[in-house]
Amino acid sequence: MSSSYRHIVRIIDTDLKGEDKVGYALARIRGIGINTSYAILRSCNVDPEIRVGQLQDSDIKRIEEALSTISERFSPYMLNRRNDPFTGKNSHLLGSDLVIGMKMDIDHMKKIKCWKGIRHSLGLKVRGQCTRTTGRFGTAVGVVRKAVAQQQQQQQKKE
């Protein structure tokens, strides 16, 4: 254990709280879930139950190295970018690369005007959810309070 405690540890452009356990803290990085974080920690021989602030520099370097080589360390079924439509390779995107990759995919769907691309461009639900009652924009339509409705009726009678 390291004698110095750090309140914030920066791993892959993400600030992790020192009081969180390593297994859950790594899941705060975009593109890493809890199962993936535990698999990474197992491959690095780091105890997932210790706090992030207690990690030694060597442990942090091993974790960062493991995160940068996820696609070589794990089977393709554990990766988040299998058979990339542009390159055809298996990879695992993390952080801002994941955000940019998702945006590129959505832009590609809009460009080829597939069903999902059209739904994205219209701002509607994409995955087949019902839209009759949810996903509405603006204020409620057709709902008027009783007092307001009476005032409107009285004004119409005067005219």
* pLDDT attached to residue 86: 86
Domain ranges of the chain: 8-76, 95-135
Residue 2, pLDDT > 60, answer: no
User: Which pLDDT value is given to residue 138?
Assistant: 76
Q: 47-51, 78-82, 123-127, 148-152: which has the minimum mean pLDDT?
A: 148-152
Task: Tell me what pLDDT residue 141 has.
Answer: 65
Q: What is the CATH number of domain 8-76?
A: 1.10.8.50
pLDDT tens string 108-117: 999 999 999 9
Q: How many CB atoms lie within 10 A of CB 16?
A: 23
Task: Reply yes or no on whether the pLDDT at 37 is more than 90.
Answer: yes
Distance in angstroms (rounded) separating the CA atoms of residues 97 and 14? 13
User: What's the whole-number average pLDDT of the chain?
Assistant: 90
Average pLDDT (102-125) is: 95
Neighbours of 69 (CB within 10 A): 12
Q: How far apart are CA 25 and CA 10, in angstroms?
A: 11
Over residues 3-15, the mean pLDDT reads 89
Q: Which letter does DSSP use for residue 28 in this model? A: G
Does 62 have pLDDT greater than 60?
Answer: yes
Rounded Cα–Cα distance for residues 102 and 157 (Å): 57
